[in-house]
Amino acid sequence: MLGTCFLVVIFALPVMHPVLSAAAASGFGRNFEQIVALAKKEGKVSIGSGLADDETQTVLGPFMQKYPEIKVENTRLRTPEHKMKVFNELIGGRVEFDVLDISSELMDQFKKAGVLSGPFDWRVIFSDSPKDHFSPDGYFAAGAYGLKPIAYNPELVPRERVPKDWADCTDPYWKGRFVVDTSAKYVVTLYPGWGEEKLISWARRIKQNQPIWKRGMSEAITQLAAGEFHMICGAPYQSVHRVVRRDTRARVAVSWPREVSLTITETMGVLKGAQHPNAALLLAGWLASPEAQKGYDKLGRGSPYIEGTEAWQLVKKNGFKLIFAGWDLQRWENEMVNKIHAAWGLRN
């Protein structure tokens, strides 16, 4: 009789709702419905993100409309240094935010330091979202995505000279007339698709073509529109989108090579010790949802993994292959950036 009871218990376990056993012990609901109910009781959530003031309502507004019981407070974190400051404060026991946009280069540090809640079974709790929107380790949810094409000034570049692929950046026609960001972060993400040998060989040819070295794409894109140079080899689409969104007459256009790299540009983590943990988990998971992507889409930062977004339509229309930098970007990015810098003769 005891054996029969034992078997009943064992076979009953798998039919329980999404497992959040460790998280539930820390005050989280055990399933989506409980998380929502507890989040409403908490009544507030504080988020540190990369959203500018004029972008906050676009992205977070729909969440506030859907959950009017939850007050959302957003603080813009402009730089990795600002996020590092938040990290150091977390180590010291000061938890300023409930949910935080964590830069790829800091993800491992946050995990190892034990300042994150989780892991969560995001893919079960938020089952309407693509599985690639959540990290395999269960600690992070992807909000915004970033495509990295080629940008050019359509008034300076003849139609027959519009760059069509990355090899065009090494064409002597562009010598001294195109920009490359010295951080290498807008080209290093080609590595998962190209491999080291091809990427470094291409980087050496870029140097030989005498680019205009710049640090920071916001200023470079503004200068491109002003006609100070012709083309940018590797530009964040969201930055181009922002310039055109604010000035529809801006002289900036985008060319989509045969392969375009894709990165996650907002990676959300729920902080351990958050005052509003369920609201944090709900907001982080919601930002990875098709519903939230409608807002990111208006900023040129939507996910190509959701049918109908601008990013999805750009892939379909232009037929380029996506090179996803992946959730393990931080494991190889610095090493490859250093090798590109060496090929360019730049100091780190």
Enumerate the domain spans of the chain. 17-145+265-297, 150-255
For helices 277-287 and 290-297, the axis angle rounded to 10 degrees is 70
- Average pLDDT estimate for 187-204: 98
The mean of the pLDDT values for the chain is 91
CA distance 299 to 290: 15
CA distance 297 to 300: 5
Secondary element (H or E) of residue 269: strand 267-270
Alpha helices in the chain (DSSP H): 2-12, 21-24, 32-42, 53-66, 80-91, 107-113, 122-125, 191-194, 196-208, 217-225, 237-246, 277-287, 290-297, 310-318, 329-344
pTM of the model: 0.88
Give the closest residue to 222 by CA, choosing from 249, 248, 245, 250.
250
CATH superfamily of 150-255: Periplasmic binding protein-like II (3.40.190.10)
- Average pLDDT estimate for 72-100: 90
Long-range contacts at 88-92 (CB < 8 A, ≥ 24 apart):
90/115, 90/271, 90/273, 91/115
| Unique residue bearing structure tokens 């007459």 | 249
Handedness of CA 111, 117, 121, 124 (dihedral sign): negative
Interval 125-143: pLDDT, tens: 999 999 999 999 999 999 9
Instruction: Determine the CATH number of domain 17-145+265-297.
Output: 3.40.190.10
Tokens of 299: 């900023």
Number of Cβ within 10 Å of residue 348's Cβ equals 8
Interval 206-221: pLDDT, tens: 999 999 999 989 899 9
For the cut 70, the answer to whether the pLDDT of residue 17 exceeds it is no
For a pLDDT cut of 90, what percent of the chain falls above it?
83
For the cut 50, the answer to whether the pLDDT of residue 16 exceeds it is no
Interval 226-273: pLDDT, tens: 999 999 999 999 999 999 998 989 999 999 999 999 999 999 999 999
The reply to whether 150-255 shares the fold of 17-145+265-297 is: yes
For the cut 90, the answer to whether the pLDDT of residue 84 exceeds it is no
